[in-house]
Amino acid sequence: MEEKMNLAPDAFEPVSKKDELDDEKIVAPSRTFVQDAWRRLKQNKASFIALWILAIIFVVAFTSPITASHPNESNPNYANLPPKIPGVNINGLNGTSVVAGKRVDAYKQNHVPSKVHYTLGTDYLGRSLAQRILRGTLVSLLIGLFATLIDLIVGVGYGIVSAWKGGITDIVMQRIIEVISSVPNIVIMVLFMLVLKGGMLPIILAIAFNGWTTMARLTRAQTLQLKSQEYVLAARTLGESTFKIAIKHLLPNLSSVIIIQTMFTIPSAIFFEAFLSYIGIGIQAPTASLGTLISDGQKNFQFLPYQMWYPAIVLSVIMIAFNILADGLRDAFDPRTARR
């Protein structure tokens, strides 16, 4: 026998208008493109940690004119003192060093007052290594940021103009980029040093001289795709000027490419500055940068390794953090490139 099914009395009645509206409600909150990218970036733990590390480094470096106001103050009596942190009795951090096979208190040997201590030790002139690392980090960051800013302004503008004009103009502008890219950075740096007589400016100009070409090529490639989109064609049909189209339509859609490339350009500029200063044609004494500190520490590395290790660690952390953050931003702005 067939069993009777117990159905509700309204089982076959049409769905009311109210029920239809409830079913069509969107559960997920609406987000803008930036909010969605920020959410994806926070989900990437490594990139989010790298962002906070860089934020801390920037805050510490840019407050160093207050916290490390005398980086070049020397005291030959306190030369080459090891790191000392009060209350920490760990070799390498308690002010002791090995002399003739025995561990001795270097601060007592140099008659340093008990209230005086150097967290990261001193260099060969008795200057505080902690203060010099803070100021050196600031100098390296400023060089990287200013060089990247020039790359940003020149590269983005050049790439948009090249792609928008097209034809012979585009061909000529791309050949100019190829010529500039073929000139070695070292040659440019030496020429700028001869003309401008040292300082931060020749390093910034040398880095920016051909560093903008990568940004220009990326911007051009994206602009070639965007200029044929319907909203751009509609704006041109309505008589919008080229400048307004670039500001309203091109730059907002190029923002992800620009931000990602900027995050890769900054560490490259910082490393190039450190390389130039390390080989002796960058920042000159007594100004500190991460490159000059590593160069000075390398001279005493066999006997006083901490003088090289600390600035090298700071440089490595900055480089790694920027690259991890850049990878995270690339995945956040373009989920299709995210590694699964």
- Please determine, for residue 153, whether its predicted confidence score (pLDDT) is greater than 70: yes
Distances, alpha carbon 76 to alpha carbons 53, 126, 159, in Å: 35, 5, 54
Q: What pLDDT was estimated at residue 111?
A: 84
Residue ranges per structural domain of the chain: 43-80+127-333, 82-117
Q: What pLDDT was estimated at residue 21?
A: 47
Q: How many C-beta atoms lie closer than 10 Å to residue 27's C-beta?
A: 4
Pick the CATH number of 43-80+127-333 from 3.30.230.10, 3.40.50.2300, 1.10.3720.10, 3.40.50.300: 1.10.3720.10
Tens digits of residue pLDDT in 279-296: 878 788 788 888 889 988
Residue 315: pLDDT band with limits 50, 70, 90: very high
Q: What pLDDT was estimated at residue 27?
A: 55
> CA-to-CA distance for 115 and 110, rounded, in angstroms?
14
> CA-to-CA distance for 88 and 84, rounded, in angstroms?
8
Q: What pLDDT was estimated at residue 340?
A: 46
Tens digits of residue pLDDT in 236-248: 888 888 888 888 8
Q: What pLDDT was estimated at residue 237?
A: 85
> DSSP string spanning 15-62?
PPHHHHHHHT---SPP--HHHHHHHHHHH-HHHHHHHHHHHHHHHHHH
Residue 314: pLDDT band with limits 50, 70, 90: very high
Tens digits of residue pLDDT in 25-71: 555 566 776 778 788 888 889 999 999 999 999 999 999 989 888 88
Q: What pLDDT was estimated at residue 1?
A: 45
> DSSP string spanning 59-84?
HHHHTHHHHS--TT---GGGTTPPPB
Q: What pLDDT was estimated at residue 96?
A: 83
What amino acid is encoded at 230 in this protein? E
What is the rounded (10 degree) CA torsion for 241, 243, 245, 248? -130
Mean pLDDT of the chain: 83
Q: Judge if pTM exceeds 0.75.
A: yes
Could you tell me where the beta strands, DSSP code E, fall in the chain? 96-99, 102-105
Cβ proximity of 134 and 121 under 8 Å: no
> CA-to-CA distance for 74 and 226, rounded, in angstroms?
58
Q: Which residue has the higher pLDDT, 217 or 278?
A: 217
Q: What pLDDT was estimated at residue 177?
A: 92
Q: What pLDDT was estimated at residue 11?
A: 53
Stretch 172-195: mean pLDDT, rounded?
A: 86
Least confident of 19-23, 90-94, 159-163: 19-23
- Please determine, for residue 219, whether its predicted confidence score (pLDDT) is greater than 50: yes
Tens digits of residue pLDDT in 60-107: 999 998 988 888 888 888 888 888 888 888 888 888 887 777 888 888
Q: Which residue has the higher pLDDT, 96 or 24?
A: 96
